[in-house]
Amino acid sequence: MTDVAPILSARDIVSGYGPVQILKGVSVEVLPGEIVTIIGPNGAGKSTLLKAIFGLLPVTEGHVSLHGVDITRLSTENLVRAGIGFVPQTNNVFSSLTIRENLLMGGFIRDEGLQDRFDWVVSLFPDLGSRLSEKTGKLSGGQRQMVAIGRALMLEPKILLLDEPSASLSPKMSEMVFEKVREINGLGTAALMVEQDAQRALAISHRGYVLAAGENRYEGPASDLLGSDDVRRLYLGA
Ligand X SMILES: Nc1ncnc2c1ncn2[C@@H]1O[C@H](COP(=O)(O)OP(=O)(O)OP(=O)(O)O)[C@@H](O)[C@H]1O
The C-alpha atoms of residue 201 and residue 223 are separated, in whole angstroms, by 11
Residue 200's alpha-carbon distances to 39, 49, 112, 196, 224, in angstroms, are 11, 21, 37, 9, 14
Angle between helices 99-106 and 114-124 (to 10 degrees): 120
Residues 109-168 that bind ligand X (CB under 6 A): none
Note whether 145 binds Mg ion by CB under 5 A: no
Candidates 7, 8, 10, 22; binder of ligand X (CB under 6 A) is: 22
Note whether 45 binds ligand X by CB under 6 A: yes
Q: How many helices (H) and strands (E) does the chain have?
A: 10, 10
In the complex, the smallest distance separating the C-beta of residue 140 from Mg ion, rounded to whole angstroms, is 22
Note whether 43 binds ligand X by CB under 6 A: yes
Task: For ligand X, give the closer residue by CB, 34 or 164.
Answer: 164
Count CA within 13 A, CB hemisphere, residue 121.
27
In the complex, the smallest distance separating the C-beta of residue 178 from Mg ion, rounded to whole angstroms, is 17
Task: For Mg ion, give the closer residue by CB, 47 or 102.
Answer: 47
Helices (H), 6-163: 46-53, 76-82, 99-106, 114-124, 126-129, 141-153
Which among ligand X, Mg ion, none contacts residue 44 (Cβ within 5 to 8 A by kind)? ligand X
Note whether 47 binds Mg ion by CB under 5 A: yes
Candidates 47, 98, 102, 216; binder of ligand X (CB under 6 A) is: 47
The C-alpha atoms of residue 62 and residue 169 are separated, in whole angstroms, by 34
**Selected range binding ligand X among 15-23, 149-157, 170-178, 230-238, rule: CB under 6 A:** 15-23
The kind and range of the H/E element at 222 are helix 222-227
In the complex, the smallest distance separating the C-beta of residue 76 from ligand X, rounded to whole angstroms, is 16
Binding footprint of ligand X on the chain (CB under 6 A) = 17, 20, 22, 40, 42-48
